[in-house]
Chain A
Amino acid sequence: MITVGIDVGSLSTKSALMNNRLEVIASDVVLTGGTNRAAAETTYEQVLTKAGLTRDDVGYVVTTGYGRENVTFANKHLSEITCHGFGMHLINPEIRTILEIGGQDSKAIRIDEHGNVENFAMNDKCAAGCGRFLEVTARAMGVPLDQLGEVSAHSQNIVRISNTCTVFAETEVVSLVAVGTPIPDIVRGVHNSIAARAASLLRTVTISGRVGMSGGVALNSGVVRALADALKTDIYVVDNPQVRGAIGAAFIGQRQVASRDA
């Protein structure tokens, strides 16, 4: 039986299609844009096309993410915390602590040996330390988002970014650029700032076992490096971090189908 997981996030909507051997056959990412429902429809169609399947081949659809409840064709919807837990467990069963940094929030999740969530914490006061923080500061430095990791690798000195507020940090970055601070040092400072916040979020759920990272920001090797330094441990980064939530949702779909058919 085929299941599909759809993660309707604030910036992008992701989908993953899974077979009953728990293999991900196809995945897809689209921008969410104005309507959650339309984005979910689009990515659903696209992931089916990639897999050469139709809706009739799908036995169960699970949605997650902020817009999960707006997808009327879903059989079930669950929070992305639960879905990321299972998604990460599926790829590496040794992972017990997860950091997921998305566009507008970050989550620390602790899971048990079966992938069930034991505890979690989220940033809630503001978007500091999230993908948006990177986007805004990258723009202020004139560095493309996908090159931040590489640029920070050339840093020679540590620059401290003291503001955690995205808007104030942007001003701070602009002034550092204006006084001629080398860009790699500023980028590293930004990464360190994100890592420091993430580390304290992780500590609130008690770090145990292997630490894994998912979410779009996991694609940034500079943040991963800074986090590994802050926690003094290796960070396991999944291949397709953006679609981990959707994969977890598809996995939950498989479990639902299995218990329904049992």
Chain B
Amino acid sequence: MRTERREGERAAQYQNLLGLMGEPHGDRAAAPDALIKAIRMRSVMNCHRLAEAYRETSKVAYVSEQFPTEVVFAAGAMPWNIESMAIMLAQSVDVNRIFQLTQEKGLSRDICSFLRGPHGMMLANCYPTPDVVLTNDQPCEGLAKQMCLAGKRFDVPVIAMNTPESFDEDAIGYVARQIERMRERMAAELGLEGSSESLQRAVAFSNDAREYYRKTVALLETHKLPGISRELQEIFGMNYFGARENVTLCKALYQAAAELAKAAPGGGKRVIWIGQVPEETHELLRHMSREVEILYWAPLWNANLRSLDETRSLHSIAERAILYHWNAERMSVELERICDRFSVEGFVIVNVWGCRNIAGISPMLRDFAARRKIKHITINVDLVDRNNYAFNHVKNRVDAFLELMQ
């Protein structure tokens, strides 16, 4: 196993990243004044995290979606969500070059671009070398495999967690024990010592941030708040729960939402965007936002809104990990709640090419929508690889859906 990094390796990788910066793909819709502070704060925080991750002395942990990052922060490491990073960077880097690299290496284009993107970033050697790879096998096994490949590529330990679907004490205990062992391995193999005090602290930060996050989501129930749902999605995607500055960010977002709520009555047609989310300037989002208000589904999930029990942190983190599972029955109950509380009138089911997970739950989503008389559209798109998608092709049916919503 490789233990030493080459001198200057991360500095070179950071330069490689900068070298890939290209023109932005679209204009950001003008944000309301009240929200600008929170958006800027998020940008600065992301920049800082990026810069920190490229410092030679930082401990970087690659993590998968919805990974319990409190554990990572408690260990003093920097979580690098390989998927969210790829989506964020796709706004600026030359994505064509990234996908070309994956093709040169024979990676099938049938694999979803949310997996090919990070893979290409690694091939371009512009992600910082990780010290450890931490992964969960849900919601996506493909992503878990990708994480294992990353571990192999950089020759670093991969610590994987298996999350069962059933939500009972056995399953919760099983996941909690895995997290405990993960912490022990991180300490033993990497010197990433996560004391119980540091875990307590990370959980407390996570809860403080979550409190503001939850209050912001609650405001969305009764108010139309332009840009807020997107920011909630961004915070969910980057998943810095457990970091002190995330509390500041969530607080700033809540304050912005409260400010906007003073002037914003409810009303207007609402749809929820179900499935993977493209970067915020994507033309599909801009096109739809002219007619309907888009709420992203993930920030509204119960699993994402619950606080952790500070007296039983690992148990509580394990519960949340299971609840994040894309279990069709629980998801259907969740959707009932979301549709009622947020007055949802439409579903946009986004089926990213090559994603078995969304394809698997789509029939349930369509049946649900039909039962609740919710208008719905399924769009098959590629939100990152532009070689696989033409806006005009999708626009036609999106327009029909928007007409349906009128």
Contacts and interface: CB of A to CB of B under 8 A. Distances in A.
Interface of A: 66, 78-82, 117-122, 124-125, 204, 206
Given A79-B397, A120-B400, 12 more contacts: A66-B392, A79-B403, A81-B400, A117-B400, A117-B403, A119-B376, A120-B404, A122-B396, A124-B380, A124-B393, A125-B380, A204-B366
Contacts of A124: 379-380, 393-394, 397
B403 A78 contact: yes
A114 to B, nearest CB: 13
Interface of B: 366, 370, 375-376, 378-380, 392-394, 396-397, 399-400, 403-404
Nearest to B366: A204
B396 A119 contact: no
Nearest to B351: A124
Contacts of A82: 400, 403-404
Contacts of B393: 124
Nearest to B377: A120
Contacts of A66: 392, 396
A206 B376 CA distance: 13
Contacts of B370: 119, 206
Which of B376, B379, B393, B396 gathers most chain A CB within 10 Å?
B396
B380 A121 contact: no
A79 B400 contact: yes
A81 B375 contact: no
A129 to B, nearest CB: 15
B277 to A, nearest CB: 20
A206 B373 CA distance: 13
A118 B384 CA distance: 31
Given A124-B397, A206-B370, A117 B404 contact: yes
Contacts of B400: 79-82, 117, 120
A117 B397 CA distance: 12
Contact of B399 (A79, A118, A121): A79
- Report which residue of B396, B400, B403 has the largest number of chain A beta carbons within 10 angstroms of its beta carbon: B400
A66 B370 CA distance: 28
A130 to B, nearest CB: 13
A206 B393 CA distance: 24
B93 to A, nearest CB: 28
A214 B53 CA distance: 59
A121 B376 CA distance: 10
A79 B396 CA distance: 7
Contacts of B375: 119
A81 B392 CA distance: 15
B351 to A, nearest CB: 9
Contacts of B403: 78-79, 81-82, 117
A108 to B, nearest CB: 12
Nearest to A117: B404
Interface centre among A118, A119, A204 (most CB of B within 10 A): A119
Contacts of A78: 399, 403
A80 B397 CA distance: 9
B390 to A, nearest CB: 11
6 contacts: A66-B392, A66-B396, A81-B397, A120-B400, A124-B393, A204-B366
Interface centre among B370, B393, B404 (most CB of A within 10 A): B404
A213 B357 CA distance: 34
Nearest to B363: A204
B116 to A, nearest CB: 19
A125 B379 CA distance: 10
B181 to A, nearest CB: 43
A99 B376 CA distance: 18
Contacts of B392: 66
Q: Which 10 A-B pairs have the closest CB atoms?
A: A81-B400, A79-B400, A79-B399, A82-B403, A124-B380, A122-B397, A117-B404, A79-B403, A78-B403, A120-B400
A122 B393 CA distance: 11
A121 B370 CA distance: 13
A78 B397 CA distance: 11
Contacts of B378: 121
Contacts of A120: 397, 400, 404
Contacts of B396: 66, 79-80, 122
Nearest to B397: A122
Contacts of B404: 82, 117-118, 120
Contacts of B397: 79, 81, 120, 122, 124
Contacts of A119: 370, 375-376
A118 B374 CA distance: 9
Nearest to A66: B396
Nearest to A109: B400
A206 B379 CA distance: 18
B205 to A, nearest CB: 44
